[in-house]
Amino acid sequence: MSTVSLDAGPATLDRIRRHLVGLKMPRALEVLEHILRRIERGEISALEAIDSLLGEELTLREGRRVKSALKMGRLLNIKTLAGFDFSFQPSLDRDRIMALAQLDFVERHEVVHFLGQPGCGKTHLALALGVEAVKAGRSVYFATLADIVGSLAKAEREGTLRERLRFLCRPQLLIVDEIGYLPVIPGGGNLFFQLVNARYERGAMILTSNRGFSEWGDVFGGTVVATALLDRLLHHAIVVQIEGASYRLRRHAELIPETTRTRPISAPPPPPRRRGRPPKARPIDPAADP
Ligand code: ADP
Ligand code: MG
C-alpha cells in the first residue's frame, strides 16, 4: 500500500504550506499536519485526505459567510426550525412549514403571511426561514414594520427615499415583523406601499401580524392604502394562520382568560380581484377557512 511519508518530501510539504497561505486557506493549513499523520498511519487514503483538507476549509468559509450574512440581514436572534416545538401548535401543519423551508416561495417572489396571537411563534418561524434562506445562499433582511417605516420616513425627510427603497428591494427575502402591534406613523402606510409595490413580483417577503387583514385599515391609517397593500400582498401569497396559544405564557396558561388564550384572529378575506392573471393565494391551513 502506498503511504505518504512526511520525511519523503519536506520541500513538497513546504510548498503545499505556501500554496495554502497564498490561497488564503487557513483552516487547511491548520489541519495539514494532522491529516498527513493520518495518511502515514494508514487511517485514510490520499483521496480521503484531499477531501478532508478541502472540506475543512469549505466548512470554515461557509460558517463565516453565513455568520456575516446573518449579521448583514439583521437576523441576530437566531431561531431554527429544529428548535420549534410543533406539538405545541397542533393547528400548524409541520409539513407545510418544512415545505416553505425548501424556499420555492423565494424563487417565485411570493409573500408568506404568519398570522396569530402574540407569542404563538410567528417571529420564530419567520427568523428560522430567514436562516434557512441565508444558509442556501439567498440574501435576507429582517426588520420590524416600525423600523422599516421609520427608516423610509427618515430617508424621505433627507431626500434619499429612492436609495432607501432600492436598498430594501435588494434582498431576495425581506422579512417584515410585527405588523399590527402599533399603528404606523402618519404617512407610513403610503411609504410602506411604495416599498411593497417596488418589490411586487420581484422579491419574496415574509410578514408577521397579530391582526387580521380586515384590521389593516387601522394599522396603516386608512382603508384605501390598506386595500392597495393587500392587493399586492395577497396576490401570490401563502397564508399561515396559527390558532394556538402563546408559547411564552405556556407555563402560566391558567392566568390567562380562555378567550385571550385561543381566540383566532379573523380569517383572511379572499384576495382582491385583479385584472389579468387569476390570484393564487393559498391558505395553508384549511382549518382556518370557515
Ligand atoms: P410571536 O412573534 O408570534 O409573538 P415569537 O415567535 O416571538 O412569537 O415566540 C415567543 C417566544 O416563544 C420566542 O422565544 C420563541 O422562540 C418561542 N416559541 C414560540 N413558539 C414556539 C414553539 N412552538 N416551540 C418553541 N419555541 C417557541
Ligand atoms: Mg413576534
In degrees rounded to 5, what are phi and psi of residue 131? -65, -45
263 pLDDT higher than 60: no
The pLDDT of residue 290: 34
Count of residues for the chain?
Answer: 290
Q: 248: pLDDT confidence band, cut at 50, 70 and 90?
A: confident
- Report yes or no: 140 and 175 within 8 Å, Cβ to Cβ: yes
Question: Region 181-195: what's the mean pLDDT?
Answer: 95
Looking at all shown ligands, the one closest to residue 117's CA atom is 1
The pLDDT value given to residue 229: 97
Tell me the whole-structure pTM to 2 decimals. 0.83
pLDDT over 50 (residue 233): yes
Confidence label for 253 from pLDDT (cuts 50, 70 and 90): low
Question: Would you say the CB of residue 175 lies under 6 angstroms from ligand 1?
Answer: no
- pLDDT classification of 189: cutoffs 50, 70, 90: very high
The confidence band for 281, taking pLDDT boundaries of 50, 70 and 90, is very low
- Region 198-210: mean pLDDT is 97
Nearest atom, ligand 1, residue 83 CA: 25
Measure 5 CA to ligand 1 centroid, in angstroms: 55
Question: Residue 261: its pLDDT value, please?
Answer: 52
| Top-ranked range on mean pLDDT: pick from 26-30, 243-247, 285-289 | 26-30
pLDDT at 70 > cutoff 90: yes
- Any atom of ligand 1 within 6 Å of the Cβ of 118: yes
Three-state DSSP class for residue 238: strand
- CA 70/CA 80 separation, integer angstroms: 13
| Cα angle for residues 112, 210, 101 (degrees, 5° grid) | 25
- Which of 81, 89, 117, 124 has most ligand 1 atoms within 8 Å of its beta carbon, as the pocket-test mutant? 124
- % of the chain beyond a pLDDT of 70: 84
Out of 65-74, 243-252, 260-269, which region has the weakest mean confidence (pLDDT)? 260-269
Greatest distance between any 2 Cα atoms in the chain = 79
DSSP label of 271: P
| 93-116 tens-digit pLDDT | 999 999 999 999 999 999 999 999
Axis-axis angle for helices 145-157, 161-169 (nearest 10): 150
The angle subtended at Cα 260 by Cα 255 and Cα 261, nearest 5°, is 70
Give buried/exposed letters for 182-196 (b at 16+ CB in 10 A, else e).
Answer: eebeeebbbbbbbbb
> What is the pLDDT at residue 285?
46
Question: Which atom of ligand 1 is found nearest the CA of 124?
Answer: 6
pLDDT attached to residue 22:
98
Q: Show the 3-state SS of 104-156.
A: HHHHCCCEEEEEECCCCCHHHHHHHHHHHHHHCCCCEEEEEHHHHHHHHHHHH
Closest ligand 1 atom, CA of 118? Answer: 4
pLDDT per position as a tens digit, 165-177: 999 999 999 999 9
Beta partners for residue 173, in sequence order: 140, 204
Give the model confidence (pLDDT) of 120-146 as tens digits. Answer: 999 999 999 999 999 999 999 999 999
Is the distance from the beta carbon of residue 33 to the nearest atom of ligand 1 less than 6 Å? no
Question: Which domains are present in the chain?
Answer: 10-72 (no CATH), 86-283 (3.40.50.300)
